[in-house]
Amino acid sequence: MTTLNKHIKKHHDTYVYNRRVPKAVAHLHIGKTHITFSLNTSCIKTARLKRDRYNGQLAIQMQSALSPDRETFKQHLQVAEKYAEGIKDKDSALFYDDYFPRNPIAFAAYREVAHGEKNHPYTFTIKEGLGSLLARKTSLSNDTKQKLNASLARFLTFVGVNDIGLQDIDKKTVVAYIEHLGDEYAHGTIAAHLSRLKSIWVHAFQLGEIYIKQSPFEDHDLSPYKNGPSQRKQLFTTEQLRMVLSDSPSEVRALVKLGLYTGARISELCSAEVEIIEGIKCLVIHKGKTKSAARYIPLAKQVEDLPLPLNIDHKAAGRAFSRFKVSQITDDSTRSFHSLRSHFITAGQRAGGLSEFDVAYVAGHKTGTTMSFGHYARHDVKRLKTTVDSIATQIEKEWFSNVVQ
């Protein structure tokens, strides 16, 4: 299934919407694992429109949904704290059934008050932590409050949940998140996002809501995202690169291959269009990270037959790739999707006989130091096609020479 038709299946002659129930709205679909209903159309374009409309409604539900279990737990916790002395008094004539119903959520609240046990799935969440932080620290500026909210929203979007218990956030997830940010942002921006998330953790610890002082958002090596030759993105090993191309999730496999054979950034690839220029199929990038990002890239034969344009969300794609890379390839933060760009440019350097000016243009780097060359000069698409083909041949030679294509 392509990303374009995600959550759409065909049943006989009619398209059907089908997706796993998101955790944030599981309480609205009790007893169900999937949301399935007929889209009442045999036209794939109409099915996509209906799918997108429902996804929008579901997104609103997910954004506003609170965990019903967490809310129920807090209600039971209030009761437990009110009668804490009676609960803890062994000589009290009162019993568990005098205070609580018999269910796991109420029992967790009872155990927390009676025995201090906080190892349960209804713990203090990161959204609660931010809400408490903003309520208590009234001296924070509006700008700081907005940045805290934005950093949390960005992290939750990456994780793919509406909210998450603080103790459920592990270091490996944060490592993948840093790599995801690293494809777009510099060291300072990444450090700022982590610092804001850490402040929520520290606040929760100071309140006694969590007992682990050290946050998963601290003590990360961010040196690969600083300027300088020693911090640049590293190439994948030959074996890693082959696994990246062969084993990456189906929803990003075309994106990965396109990244390797064009050298373009992930955000550029996801929004690029396709045009035939002077008889040559080209990827057209209208805007990107820098002024030099706007360009056209002739496609090598290795990617000519990919279903283009991709038209996928680059953040979702970045998350999918980061999770795959960390879990199956390497957790080395110097190797990420951006490393594919390094492979392309390295192959351009090693191919020999290529114009650095042309390679820089294809990669979206600044190519002219004067107004004449930098602003008015236009590249010869046929010469660029030769450049891209030479780089593709060098990529095959460097990393796939003994692989049967």
Instruction: Give residue-wise pLDDT tens across range 231-253.
Output: 567 899 999 999 999 999 999 99
Are 337 and 259 contacting, i.e. CB atoms less than 8 angstroms apart?
A: yes
Can you tell me the distance from the alpha carbon of 44 to that of 344, in angstroms, rounded to the nearest whole number?
36
Q: How crowded is residue 326: how many other Cβ atoms within 10 Å of its Cβ?
A: 20
Q: What's the confidence (pLDDT) of residue 79?
A: 83
Q: What's the confidence (pLDDT) of residue 250?
A: 92
Instruction: Give residue-wise pLDDT tens across range 16-42.
Output: 999 988 876 665 676 788 999 999 999
Can you tell me the distance from the alpha carbon of 146 to that of 139, in angstroms, rounded to the nearest whole number?
14
pTM, two decimal places: 0.50
Rounded (10°) CA dihedral 180, 183, 189, 191: 50
Q: What angle do CA 160, 154, 363 make, to 5 degrees?
A: 100
Omega prior to 309 cis, within 30 of 0: yes
Q: What's the confidence (pLDDT) of residue 232?
A: 64
Token match 């269910």: residue? 103
What amino acid occupies position 66?
A: L
Structure tokens at 207: 């309140």
Q: What's the confidence (pLDDT) of residue 344?
A: 94
In sequence order, the 6+-apart residues with CB closer than 8 A to the CB of 277 are 296, 298, 381
Q: What's the confidence (pLDDT) of residue 356?
A: 86
Can you tell me the distance from the alpha carbon of 373 to that of 31, in angstroms, rounded to the nearest whole number?
65
The tens-digit pLDDT sequence of the chain (405 residues) is 456 888 999 988 899 999 988 876 665 676 788 999 999 999 998 898 888 888 877 776 665 555 667 778 888 888 888 877 776 777 766 666 777 788 888 888 888 887 777 777 777 889 889 989 998 988 888 888 889 988 998 898 888 777 888 988 999 999 989 988 887 788 889 999 999 999 999 999 999 888 889 999 999 988 888 764 335 678 999 999 999 999 999 999 999 999 999 999 999 999 999 999 999 999 999 877 666 778 899 999 999 899 999 989 988 899 999 999 999 999 888 899 999 999 999 999 999 888 888 888 898 876 554 433 343 345 688 999 999 999 999 999 999 986 544
CATH class of 126-228: mainly alpha
In sequence order, the 6+-apart residues with CB closer than 8 A to the CB of 210 are 118, 123, 124, 166, 167, 201, 204
Which of 291, 288, 285, 290 minimizes the C-alpha distance to 309?
285
Per-state percent for the chain, helix, strand, coil, to nearest 5: 55, 10, 35
Structure tokens at 318: 């970045």
- For the chain, the domains span 3-64, 68-115, 126-228, 238-399
| CATH code for residues 238-399 | 1.10.443
Which of 280, 257, 287, 259 minimizes the C-alpha distance to 383?
280
What amino acid occupies position 209?
A: E
Which of 144, 145, 106 minimizes the C-alpha distance to 122?
106
